[in-house]
Amino acid sequence: MEELLVGKHVKYIITVEKRKDDFESVVMEHLRLNGAYWGLTTLDIMGKLGAVEQDEVISWVMQCQHESGGFGGNIGHDPHVLYTLSAIQVLALFDKIHVLDIDKLDIAGLQNEDGSFSGDIWGEVDTRFSYIAILSLALLHRLDKVDVGKAVKYILSCKNVDGGFGCTPGAESHAGQIFCCVAALAITGSLHHVDKDLLGWWLCERQVKSGGLNGRPEKLPDVCYSCYIGIFIDRSALCFTEGHVVASQDKENGGISDRPDDAVDVFHTYFGVAGLSLLEYPGIKPIDPAYALPVDVVNRVMLGR
């Protein structure tokens, strides 16, 4: 089997960060803070976080904070819980969460009466936002600021007869939403509500002939699901998934794509490397699947180790 091209991926991530005017950079301008999290976490998992200038990164992240307290996807953009979490996670990587005015981050104010969370002031509801809000507050040691019981109850209302979870009650099961819902239940100590056998079968059926995994029935495989699904299933059952990930690398310029021979991007590069971490690929740091950060970072933030 091919090996992970760590050096080329480091170069790719650094190059993406430096580019400002090409097409990929322009179309991703609104979620650049997410991209920073994906790229920097990938570097850390590969043991190469020192390749970036810490003070420069932190200064830019803090410039993405809106006057309302939340973070936008880039400087001058509107705040959203998606970008706020990425800001917290990037600061956690560098052990700099203390630079935040935590009381200014009104994440708890995004919880609705039914226990769900809106992503921003415009009110869109999605179980992704439930997970993101819960994870953000957990990393800040502020989970007591929301009604966790109601949050769990809402997530469970999105569980389907196949054992999976959707984005809202009645929505179809999707591997990405399942990842978010189960991770949120894990953080809140509520995993006993998951039907492990039923959900496990649904997730096992996501593997296709190439060894890759899809997010829903009858869809093409995608590298990102090596992470979304890899957290649930024993490594021995996903032995061919590892090959799908490394086969999706750009062997000349670095980066990982959704599947072999497609264009690479930093999103799939992160999820590909994170998936390999969950599959215990040699030389890769372990990642905590619920907190979506390297285990050593989670231990430092949550346990003070």
Angle (CA) 131-147-41 rounded to 5° is 25
* Per-residue pLDDT at 239: 56
Residue entry with tokens 């420069």? 56
CA distance 101 to 90: 15
> Which of the pair, 211 or 294, is modelled with greater confidence?
294
Angstrom distances, CA of residue 17 to CA of 42, 76, 152: 13, 18, 37
Confidence of residue 280 (pLDDT cuts 50, 70, 90): confident
Taking residues 45-50, what's their average pLDDT? 96
Angle (CA) 152-155-71 rounded to 5° is 90
The H or E element containing residue 293 is: strand 293-294
Tens of pLDDT along 167-214?
A: 999 999 999 999 999 999 999 999 999 999 999 999 989 988 887 888
Q: Collect all residues with Cβ–Cβ distance below 8 Å to 304 and sequence separation of at least 6.
A: none
CA distance 268 to 145: 33
- pLDDT at residue 113 above 90? yes
* Per-residue pLDDT at 67: 92
Angstrom distances, CA of residue 192 to CA of 49, 140, 162, 196: 36, 25, 17, 9
The mean pLDDT value of the chain amounts to 92
* Per-residue pLDDT at 213: 87
Residues of the chain with pLDDT > 70: what percent? 94
Confidence of residue 228 (pLDDT cuts 50, 70, 90): confident
- Domain borders along the chain are 106-194
CA distance 305 to 303: 5
For residues 57 and 32, the answer to whether their CB atoms sit within 8 Å is no
CA distance 265 to 256: 6
Q: Collect all residues with Cβ–Cβ distance below 8 Å to 4 and sequence separation of at least 6.
A: 46, 246, 249, 273, 276, 281, 283, 284
- pLDDT at residue 124 above 70? yes
Tens of pLDDT along 61-92?
A: 999 999 999 999 999 999 999 999 999 999 99
CB hemisphere CA count around 31 (13 angstroms): 13
Helix (H, G, I), strand (E, B) or coil at 179: helix
Taking residues 138-154, what's their average pLDDT? 98
Tens of pLDDT along 30-44?
A: 889 999 999 999 999
